[in-house]
Amino acid sequence: MAVIPALREPVLAIHGGAGTIDPGSMTPAKERAYRDALVAALRSGQHVLSAGGSAVDAVIAAVVSLEDCPLFNAGRGAVFTSDGRNELDASIMDGATRAAGAVAGVTCIRNPIRAAHAVMTASRHVMLIGPGAEAFAAEKGLAKVEPAYFHTPERWAQLERARAEGRLELDHDGAAKSASATSDDKKFGTVGAVALDAHGNLAAATSTGGVTNKQWGRVGDSPIIGAGTWADNGTCAVSGTGLGEAFMRCCAAHEVASLMKYKGLPLDAAVTEVATITVPANHGTGGLIALDSAGNVSMRFSTTGMYRGVARGAGEPEVAIYGD
Amino acid sequence: MAVIPALREPVLAIHGGAGTIDPGSMTPAKERAYRDALVAALRSGQHVLSAGGSAVDAVIAAVVSLEDCPLFNAGRGAVFTSDGRNELDASIMDGATRAAGAVAGVTCIRNPIRAAHAVMTASRHVMLIGPGAEAFAAEKGLAKVEPAYFHTPERWAQLERARAEGRLELDHDGAAKSASATSDDKKFGTVGAVALDAHGNLAAATSTGGVTNKQWGRVGDSPIIGAGTWADNGTCAVSGTGLGEAFMRCCAAHEVASLMKYKGLPLDAAVTEVATITVPANHGTGGLIALDSAGNVSMRFSTTGMYRGVARGAGEPEVAIYGD
């Protein structure tokens, strides 16, 4: 008689970015919109998991939902570069196989996370960049969009504020020094998801529109396997959001896994150490969400808030914005 | 009375790529040319270190020497993409501060490692890609070259062989299956250096021309902090060479540091585990060079050879090509 492994209760966690998010600058209507968007993304992933789908497909479903929502800095809501374009980055990793895929500097792909997934499954590569990545995505039949798709009025206003003040880029410190920067300017809107499926497999995905007014083809941690994204069934699935440079200098996502695997820390202790000690020591702020194969979830940040949420099994999604 | 720390004996180690390198396909003249080039690169870095220069400046000097030599797949000797261009990647990390810089997909910068260094020291970013990275390098006054600079006859012949056989890219396995592929086709010519300076600081640098006949803006591990390059005074400096995708899937360079820091392995045990177990388990081959702050050097590979060398203090450089 074949041994059929017991199915587990699937778990999904997501984030929609961390930063200076304070209740004072949030209207009830706006907070409602964010909460609804987080719940919708969790339900998209939950739907996949409840039907016995894979963790990989669940994180894609959740991230696509966040990419399609103009509230978050990924996909549709991507911020503008200094020359008024949108450059998007994304990555995905399968904890069962450690297969991984990433794209960076793409401008016309509707859902960069789907392109990252195609790199993982339909190429022998891990990372494709720029026009080459777009040609690959077109060859695989992924949806293209015109630049106008990304032209949301809120993001254009952000670029104009940044340009007027000569801020070369928008990061937490720069924005904090700027009197006119709104709370929207003071957050990192990167989105991400981590999932555990009924078969015990983990996956992680991250997608971003970068930083407002960026120059020079800057790439942050979101498309970097080990910095912004990591998944390995033996330890955990991780997705980060924050000042990407700080996450890259400490290999933040892989550091969480290393602390678990070699130092023996439980998930939450590892995530807390990296989010609140290691990343700040590398001159940045932000947050991390992570999930281990026992279904434990940790969501820690060094900022005042992080859009986030968790859904277990068929249960009601729980979402949060500010600190505990 | 101020405490003046004792100066240490500086150490420099370099690699010029790993792969199927067998004595049978090597003429004495060719082997001599490789050995001379490795010695010249070691002397360039040694010169910096002997004068009290920093580990960062030493790895730049060594890598620039290898980039300028047409024998190695980096800088001048970069291989061709499928459309007959050259796309180069490089990264550098300062172990004293964990500052890091990287460029990917650049086509007209003479020494990509200098561009990576400029990103580290003259921008607030860690990674710049494509035309943006080139604009940044031009703004910083770095030397540009015409595409003809990279047109070495040997590399063009490699592309023609790869095209004729429909090999979409040149990796170890693909080349091994190809009857007409020469031994030059069967190696990863990425170059790298790790250094310990008299002040006790570590640094690492890696530079590559990618894989012959590559498509789609593929980026490997060389410009990825944590995969192909890592440096932290608390553990080690690491540079890798091999099938980049395998190094990315296991965060190879950062994994070496994690095994030392959290599992307590000595340098050589950590490097041996990653080069001969972890990377192959992630479906690739290659090698790693690494150096710790006590001056221990480890150079391990899962291929038949790796161009490599070490220089200690003002001593005679030692170079090697094949397995021990």
Residue of B nearest to A224 (CA): B224
Q: Give the percent of chain A with pLDDT over 90.
A: 77
* Residue bearing tokens 């790993």: B18
Residues 151-190 of B with CB under 8 A from A: 169, 171
Q: Is there a contact between B136 and B164 (Cβ–Cβ < 8 Å)?
A: no
Interface test with chain A among B109, B218, B256, by most A beta carbons within 10 Å: B218
Encode pLDDT of B94-107 as tens digits: 999 999 999 999 99
| Beta bridge mates, B238 | B230, B290
Interstrand relation of B297-301 and B286-292 (parallel, antiparallel or unpaired): antiparallel
Closest CA to B21 of B30, B9, B29, B13: B30
Q: Which two tokens stand for residue B206?
A: 């890696």
| B128 touches A at CB < 8 Å | yes
Q: Which of B217, B258, B262 sits opposite A133 (nearest CB)?
A: B217
Per-residue pLDDT band at B239 (split at 50, 70, 90): very high
List the Cα angle B300/B301/B303 in 5-degree steps: 160
Query: Active site residue: A81, A107, A190, A229, which one?
Result: A190
The pLDDT of residue B65 is 98
| A130 touches B at CB < 8 Å | yes
ipTM: 0.94
Q: Which of B104, B230, B248 sits opposite A126 (nearest CB)?
A: B248
The secondary element (H helix, E strand) that includes residue B191 is strand B191-196
| Chain B residues within 8 A of A100 when measuring between CB atoms | 248-249
| B82 touches A at CB < 8 Å | no
The pLDDT of residue A18 is 92
Q: Give the percent of chain B with pLDDT over 70.
A: 91
| B110 touches A at CB < 8 Å | no
Lowest mean pLDDT among A116-130, B101-115, B209-223, B302-316: B209-223
Can you list the domains of chain A with their CATH numbers? Answer: 11-322 (3.60.20.30)
Per-residue pLDDT band at B5 (split at 50, 70, 90): low
| B83 touches A at CB < 8 Å | no
- Greater confidence (B29 vs A182) lies with B29
Interface test with chain B among A83, A219, A254, by most B beta carbons within 10 Å: A219
Per-residue pLDDT, averaged over A251-270, amounts to 98
The pLDDT of residue A2 is 58
Q: What does the alpha-carbon distance between residue B94 and residue B112 come to, in Å, rounded to a whole number?
A: 17
Per-residue pLDDT band at A182 (split at 50, 70, 90): low
Distance from CA of B160 to the nearest CA of A (A): 21
Lowest mean pLDDT among A74-88, A218-232, B269-283: A74-88
| A255 touches B at CB < 8 Å | yes
Per-residue pLDDT, averaged over A247-251, amounts to 98
The pLDDT of residue A185 is 61
| Chain A residues within 8 A of B126 when measuring between CB atoms | 220, 244-245, 248-249
pTM: 0.94
B276 in active site: no
Q: What does the alpha-carbon distance between residue B113 and residue B110 come to, in Å, rounded to a whole number?
A: 9
Q: What is the DSSP string of A221-289?
A: STTSBTTTEEE-TTSEEEEEEE-HHHHHHTTHHHHHHHHHHTT---HHHHHHHIIIIIHHHTT--EEEE
Query: Active site residue: B190, B206, B212, B303, which one?
Result: B190
The pLDDT of residue B147 is 85
The pLDDT of residue B175 is 39
Per-residue pLDDT band at B199 (split at 50, 70, 90): very high
Q: Which of A126, A129, A258 sits opposite B217 (nearest CB)?
A: A129
The pLDDT of residue A174 is 38
Q: Give the percent of chain B with pLDDT over 90.
A: 77
Per-residue pLDDT band at B179 (split at 50, 70, 90): very low
For A125, residues 6+ apart whose C-beta sits below 8 A from its C-beta are A101, A119, B216, B218, B245
| Chain B residues within 8 A of A261 when measuring between CB atoms | 258, 262
Q: Which two tokens stand for residue B51?
A: 């004068």
Residue of B nearest to A124 (CA): B245
Per-residue pLDDT, averaged over B153-180, amounts to 65
Q: Which of B128, B129, B282 sits opposite A98 (nearest CB)?
A: B282
Residue of A nearest to B255 (CA): A258
How many contacts (CB atoms, under 8 Å) link A and B?
143
Per-residue pLDDT, averaged over A282-306, amounts to 96
Across chain A, mean pLDDT equals 91
Burial of A316 from C-beta contacts in 10 A (0-12 / 13-18 / 19+): exposed
Encode pLDDT of A40-66 as tens digits: 999 999 999 999 999 999 999 999 999
Q: What is the DSSP string of A47-104?
A: HHHHTT--HHHHHHHHHHHHHTSTTSSSGGGPPPBTTS---EEEEEEETTT--EEEEE
Q: What does the alpha-carbon distance between residue B48 and residue B205 come to, in Å, rounded to a whole number?
A: 15
* Phi and psi angles of residue B101, each rounded to the nearest 5 degrees, phi first: -150, 150
B125–A218 CB contact, under 8 Å: yes
A130–B125 CB contact, under 8 Å: no
| Chain B residues within 8 A of A254 when measuring between CB atoms | 226, 251, 254-255, 258
Interface test with chain A among B120, B221, B249, by most A beta carbons within 10 Å: B249
The pLDDT of residue B211 is 87
CA A181 to chain centre: 23
| A310 touches B at CB < 8 Å | no
> At residue B93, does pLDDT exceed 70?
yes
> At residue A172, does pLDDT exceed 90?
no
Interface test with chain A among B121, B129, B233, by most A beta carbons within 10 Å: B129
> At residue A200, does pLDDT exceed 60?
yes
Query: What does chain B come to in residues?
Result: 324
Per-residue pLDDT band at A208 (split at 50, 70, 90): very high
Residue of A nearest to B128 (CA): A218
Q: What does the alpha-carbon distance between residue A16 and residue A308 come to, in Å, rounded to a whole number?
A: 6
Output DSSP code: residue A296. -
For B236, residues 6+ apart whose C-beta sits below 8 A from its C-beta are B194, B202, B230, B256, B257, B260, B267, B270, B290, B291, B292, B293
B132–A245 CB contact, under 8 Å: no
Lowest mean pLDDT among A42-56, B101-115, B169-183, B245-259: B169-183
| B254 touches A at CB < 8 Å | yes
Q: Which of A99, A124, A128 sits opposite B217 (nearest CB)?
A: A128
Q: What does the alpha-carbon distance between residue A105 and residue A86 come to, in Å, rounded to a whole number?
A: 8
Per-residue pLDDT band at A166 (split at 50, 70, 90): confident
Across chain B, mean pLDDT equals 91
Q: Which of B136, B219, B227 sits opposite A216 (nearest CB)?
A: B136
| Chain B residues within 8 A of A220 when measuring between CB atoms | 126-127
The pLDDT of residue B279 is 97
The pLDDT of residue A167 is 67
